[in-house]
Amino acid sequence: MRAIVLREPNRFALEEIKDPVPNTGEVEIRVRLAGICGTDLHVLRGHNPFVAYPLIPGHEYVGEVLKAPEGSSLRVGQRVIVYPGKGCNTCKACREGRTIHCPQFEFIGVSRSGGGFAEKVVVHENHVIPLPDNLADIEASLIEPLAVAVHATRRAGMSENITNGPIVAIIGGGTIGLLIAQVAKKFGASSVILSEPLAGRRLLAAKMGIDAVCNPAEEDLADFVAERIGMVDIVFDAVASPATFLSSEKALRPGGRLVAVGLPSSKTMGIPYELLFKKELSAIATRTYFRSDFKDAIDLARNKAVALTALISAVLPLAEFREGVKLLEAEPERYTKILIDPVV
């Protein structure tokens, strides 16, 4: 089969490799669509500290079952997505469904090979999640990042039953930021503000019904919200830089919550302490998701509660994977999410 193989940072190519062979309890899946995300770009460029080389990257994908274990509830031809987190299955975190807290946690396509930028994948049946029939492939390909948004919003203390909804700001209008903005709205936010320097992404946010959009190149987020509503209750920082952490703290009301969504580029980077202390702010980190977040993401997508297809900028064949990476890095204003189709 054909697959994108990453040998070391910046050294990746389309290669012809042997088809994966399922072992006991494993499912063979044909990949139908796979999304390139910001994590993939960091993996390819050697900026993700958790990568194990060599590997086939890719963790946002939808496929169809080619072969299932005997006695499985899965059937050949069934459309599925894959939960990419893997733990020991025995520790307290794993037993409670908190795989990301397992000391032996691995992530398919990052710290463990077997990712979705390939014609076929093999995963254990426990990682396979069936899809409803009314969810198109192009929407299903975004369930994984939507689960990230669901998890982040829940980490902030929000839920569907919230009353007197908080005022929320999101820093960064990429795929994750735009999805968090929509999920926060569905989870009861009274007002949602997005801070994003790229005009194309601000326009996309406005089309998604986000209440206000700030251009941080022209106006500080704290000044922007102060003129309109005062201060915000929750800030989701999907950029995670020293500048955005400071901007988040300035925009938050006393007792507010800073939710760090992005992975900082530096291991030594910290959140400025003075305002954190002065305002008694809560700083919360959010990392990927729990398995349960996928169910909520599927429900949101199936009910058309969030706009997903608007995030798709292009669909390219597997042979043009490198071009897709180039477009995302060179033209982020035009390209938010690029999908790879290994079938063509």
Q: Would you report the helix, strand and coil content of the chain in percent, each value rounded to 5?
A: 30, 30, 40
Q: How far apart are CA 216 and CA 198, in angstroms?
A: 9
Write b or e for each residue in 108-141: b if 16 or more Cβ atoms lie within 10 A of its Cβ, otherwise e: bbbbbbbbbbbbbbbbbbebbbebeeebebbbbb
39 is catalytic: yes
How would you classify the pairing of strands 232-237 and 252-260? parallel
| Alpha carbons 120 and 105: distance in angstroms, whole number | 23
Residues 6+ apart with CB under 8 A from 184: 153, 156, 158, 168, 170, 192, 234, 236
Provide the greatest CA pair distance for the chain: 63
Give the strand pairing for 11-16 and 2-8: antiparallel
E strand residue ranges, the chain: 2-8, 11-16, 26-36, 60-67, 79-82, 85-86, 106-107, 120-124, 128-130, 167-171, 191-195, 212-214, 232-237, 252-260, 282-285, 312-317, 337-341
Residue corresponding to tokens 């031809």: 77
Catalytic-role residue among 39, 175, 286, 336? 39
**With contact defined as beta carbons under 8 Å apart, do 12 and 44 qualify?**
yes
Residues 6+ apart with CB under 8 A from 313: 327, 334, 335, 336, 337, 338
d(CA 200, CA 27) in angstroms, rounded, equals 40
Helix (H) or strand (E) holding 199: helix 199-207
d(CA 128, CA 76): 13
**CA angle, 300 as apex, 296 and 306 as ends, to 5°?**
140
Catalytic residues: 39, 42
